[in-house]
């Protein structure tokens, strides 16, 4: 394995404090856990006498209708993606484009032969000796993806970080040749727990578990305990998220229409991937948006597709409205000068 540059993480680090309007974060703000009766204090955990890891794994086993031994806790989705893709047995890995950048970078670091394709169109002839990896819903487009001939691949890794936003628990059934990942960071607004997971079985689970021993070995029991308590309130959090996303989506749809931007928005998903259709690289455009409008977006090139940017609408409605107004004025000035 060799080091590689994760442009998305670097982009956010470099620009996070030089903007006024944060439209780059895809996760929901943390809810008021106290209103759900969740005590996040260390004393609550210590007095419970419970093993946080066992509770977490049992909660997820129930959620996915699998055995406890099929659950591997991870340090968020980042570690899950690293472990899931690195542990794929085939050397050839098919990836979709656009896609969440760590998929490309992890595959490269792991020495995989990356094959970019539109996974919807057709199943490759060498699927039986290849792997496939993708986010579902897709990050950055939000679209639901089920590759053509999915069962024909030798192995698959599916990151379902945003699946709860759609109201579906999981898009794929657990099998010996598939690993499914998730996290508390986005839907649950609980990135502070750094709690994620992989659901796997058989040889794939053994490979991933072995690699987990070499990375973080185990997650803090306290955080897994809190994560379990939060997941118990999934339906309440879903109602809160649905209201926020629904109201914010209206603002985004008006913005897209006003600026003649082409984009499809998937129901419930709190981000989209507009194409802007005028001459400017996505990185150049997004750098200017920071400087001239104070709006932080993520360039499409980071996801492997130029002429687009990812727009997230998880922030407060008033902030989003002001940010979209500033972005709209900026885009009109760019058009006028192009």
Which two structure tokens, joined as six digits, stand for 73? 């806790």
- Residue 192 CA, chain-centre distance (Å), reads 16
**In whole angstroms, what is the distance from residue 1 CA to residue 314 CA?**
36
pLDDT band at 3 (very low <50, low <70, confident <90, very high): low
pLDDT at 2: 53
Q: What is the pLDDT of residues 56-93, one digit of tens each?
A: 999 999 999 999 999 999 999 999 999 999 999 999 99
pLDDT at 40: 80
Average pLDDT over residues 149-161: 95
SS3 of 68-120: the string is HHHEEEEEHHHHHHHHHHHCCCCCEEEEECCCCHHHHHHHHHCCCEEEEECCC
Dihedral (CA of 92, 141, 205, 211) sign: positive
Residue reference for tokens 């579902």: 136
Q: Where in the chain are the domains?
A: 7-30+235-331, 39-232
pLDDT band at 283 (very low <50, low <70, confident <90, very high): very high
pLDDT band at 175 (very low <50, low <70, confident <90, very high): confident
More confident residue, 110 or 46: 110
* Domain 39-232, second-level architecture: 3-Layer(aba) Sandwich (3.40)
Average pLDDT over residues 139-165: 94
pLDDT at 282: 97
**In whole angstroms, what is the distance from residue 327 CA to residue 82 CA?**
34
Q: Please check the confidence at residue 265 and state whether its pLDDT lies above 90.
A: yes
More confident residue, 97 or 330: 330
Q: What is the pLDDT of residues 323-333, one digit of tens each?
A: 999 999 999 99
Average pLDDT value over all residues in the chain: 93
Q: Please check the confidence at residue 37 and state whether its pLDDT lies above 90.
A: no
Average pLDDT over residues 295-311: 96
Average pLDDT over residues 38-65: 89
Q: What is the pLDDT of residues 190-237, one digit of tens each?
A: 999 999 999 999 999 999 999 999 899 888 999 999 999 999 999 999
CA distances (Å), 48 to each of 58, 225, 232, in order? 16, 10, 16
pLDDT at 338: 61
DSSP 8-state code for residue 197: E
**In whole angstroms, what is the distance from residue 297 CA to residue 284 CA?**
11
Options 3.10.105.10, 3.40.50.11610, 1.10.8.350, 3.90.1150.10; CATH for 7-30+235-331 is 3.90.1150.10
- Residue 126 CA, chain-centre distance (Å), reads 28
The answer to whether the CB of 302 falls within 8 A of the CB of 14 is no
The answer to whether the CB of 47 falls within 8 A of the CB of 155 is no
Q: Please check the confidence at residue 310 and state whether its pLDDT lies above 90.
A: yes
Which two structure tokens, joined as six digits, stand for 258? 């006003």
């Amino acid at each position: 394995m060799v080091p590689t540059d994760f442009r998305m993480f670097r982009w956010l680090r470099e620009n996070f404090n030089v903007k006024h309007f944060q439209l780059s974060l895809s996760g929901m703000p943390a809810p008021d856990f106290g209103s759900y009766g969740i005590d996040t204090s260390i004393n609550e955990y210590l007095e419970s006498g419970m093993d946080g890891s066992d509770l977490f794994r049992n909660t997820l086993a129930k959620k996915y209708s699998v055995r406890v031994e099929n659950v591997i806790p991870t340090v968020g989705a980042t570690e899950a993606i690293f472990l899931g893709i690195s542990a794929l047995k085939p050397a050839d890995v098919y990836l979709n484009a656009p896609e969440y950048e760590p998929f490309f970078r992890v595959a490269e670091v792991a020495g995989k032969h990356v094959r970019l394709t539109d996974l919807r169109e057709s199943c490759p002839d060498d699927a039986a000796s290849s792997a496939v990896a993708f986010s579902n819903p897709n990050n950055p487009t939000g679209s639901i993806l089920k590759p053509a001939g999915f069962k024909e691949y030798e192995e698959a890794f599916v990151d379902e970080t945003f699946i709860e936003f759609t109201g579906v628990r999981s898009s794929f059934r657990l099998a010996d040749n598939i690993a499914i990942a998730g996290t508390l960071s986005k839907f649950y607004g609980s990135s502070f727990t750094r709690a994620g997971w992989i659901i796997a079985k058989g040889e794939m689970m053994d490979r991933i578990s072995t690699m987990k021993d070499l990375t973080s070995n185990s997650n803090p029991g306290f955080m897994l305990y809190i994560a379990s308590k939060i997941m118990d309130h999934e339906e309440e959090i879903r109602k809160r998220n649905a209201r926020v996303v629904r109201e914010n989506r209206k603002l985004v749809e008006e913005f897209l229409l006003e600026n003649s931007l082409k984009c499809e928005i998937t129901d419930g998903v709190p981000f989209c991937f507009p194409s802007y259709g005028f001459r400017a690289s996505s990185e150049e455009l997004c750098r200017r948006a920071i400087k001239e409008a104070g709006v932080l977006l993520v360039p499409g090139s980071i996801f492997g597709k130029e002429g687009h940017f990812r727009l997230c609408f998880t922030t407060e409605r008033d902030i989003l409205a002001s940010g979209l107004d500033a972005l709209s004025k900026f885009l009109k000035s760019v058009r006028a000068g192009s």
